[in-house]
Amino acid sequence: MTQSLTPQSTKQKISRWLYSLALSCALPVLFIHWLVKFGLGKKDFNLHRLNRFSIYPEKISQSDILIHCVSVGEVTVAARLINTLIMTNPSLSVTVTTTTPTGAANVANLLGEKVQHLYLPYDLGWMMNRLLNRVRPKQVLVVEVELWPNMIRQCAKKHIPVTLVNGRMTDRSARGYQKLSLLIEPMLQSIKHVCAQSQRDYQNYLNLGIVEDKLTMTGNIKFELENTVSGVAEPLVSKFKGENRKILIAGSTHDPEEQIVLDAAKSLISQYPELLLMIVPRHPQRFDKVYELLKVSGLNIARTSQTNTSSASITEPHTDIVLVDQMGVLTDLYHYADFAFIGGSIAERGGHNPLEAAVAAIPTMMGSSTHNNPVIYNALKASGNLFAVNNSQDIVSTVSHWLADDEARISAGQKGYDVIEGNKGALQKTIDLITLPQP
């Protein structure tokens, strides 16, 4: 089945033209911003990032499939899908696009040389056309929610089918799409199929006008986790864990969550000196700022990038807090921890995915901002694995309970693992809906 170009009304054409015009006006400012950052030697503003302007300094290879992910979480979903597809189709060639450096780093970490990575251009028709002409994919997969009107239109013009996998559509996003219906409706009608995460997502796509024949409730690929450890985090943990220490991981944190967790740690460590807090900020550009915050706490602070992990003589059980200022280690770190706080949930960011902690069979905590993954949140909370916390005192109370009662901590962790085992199957359902190119 090929993609077809959906006819548009005059109002819809004008809406798309105004959207493209606004983006075109912003383009020079965005390019100057890149140029300044590149001139200053900023790590994330390298020549590869010119892909966002449809400039390709590197050699581009053609691929059977182009998979677009916005950032870290979506790349993790894509990696599970890609690894499974390549396992049964070793000759399959794949290009993965992201829009953020953290997403690019995750592609390199999880997929390495298995795929070609490019940054997705800004959503102008000529830029998307240039990308598709270079990669020449037989189909495009978009992970979760990152849909762009001109990208979908260019795929339709070239008869390239677009499938949305692990499709997510929050109530908030659906309301926003409805306000932009003149722009969004033709895009949604041009999509070949939507694999929805949950009944909520299915219903919201239905309400936005996607016909039932193009919708399947496949479930959430994020549940497709294996309880395995790569070992990448072991050198970090071995320097600090020490005997009888308990580790609290604060993963994917945002401002002001580091301060909230820090305040909780001060109170907890005064009563439980064996506790070790490891903080992993979501964005690498905040590493230095978080380190400055931690330094004035009066506690013993270490930073993984400044720790000699190759020397066995530097085991530091006296360290109270470790700032993990490295990418690609958080998933493994959960397996060395005893309990976790999942960031983006007290900060109003919708909450990051708690499943990577749950599969490690440790209990988790989150704030009230959980609209990114409500099905996951509700399932873990109902099971007794995930606990709601809104401030530092809530964290103190919850962690104190687990520190005082090992049996309760272990039981809560196991319940999260059981939820994951009971929700598998989305990956295979999604693969069944993807038509692989014939060799």
What span, in angstroms and rounded, lies between the C-alpha atoms of 58 and 55?
9
User: End-to-end CA distance of the chain, in Å?
Assistant: 17
CA distance to 51, 123, 156, 162, 195, per residue, from 153 (Å): 20, 10, 5, 10, 20
Q: Could you tell me if 214 and 191 are in contact, meaning their C-beta atoms sit under 8 angstroms apart?
A: yes
In single-letter form, the type of residue at position 363 comes to P
CA distance to 61, 138, 358, per residue, from 95 (Å): 8, 11, 30
137 burial type by CB count under 10 A (0-12 exposed, 13-18 middle, 19+ buried): buried
To 10 degrees, the CA torsion angle through 63, 64, 69, 75? -90
Token code pair at residue 426: 């989305």
Q: Beta partners for 139?
A: 65
As annotated, the active-site residues are 74
Alpha helices in 272-350 (DSSP H): 287-295, 330-333
Residues 6+ apart with CB under 8 A from 187: 147, 148, 149, 152, 153
Q: Could you tell me if 358 and 383 are in contact, meaning their C-beta atoms sit under 8 angstroms apart?
A: no
Least Cα distance to 164 among 65, 63, 68 occurs for: 68
Q: Could you tell me if 320 and 301 are in contact, meaning their C-beta atoms sit under 8 angstroms apart?
A: yes
Residues 6+ apart with CB under 8 A from 300: 318, 319, 320, 321
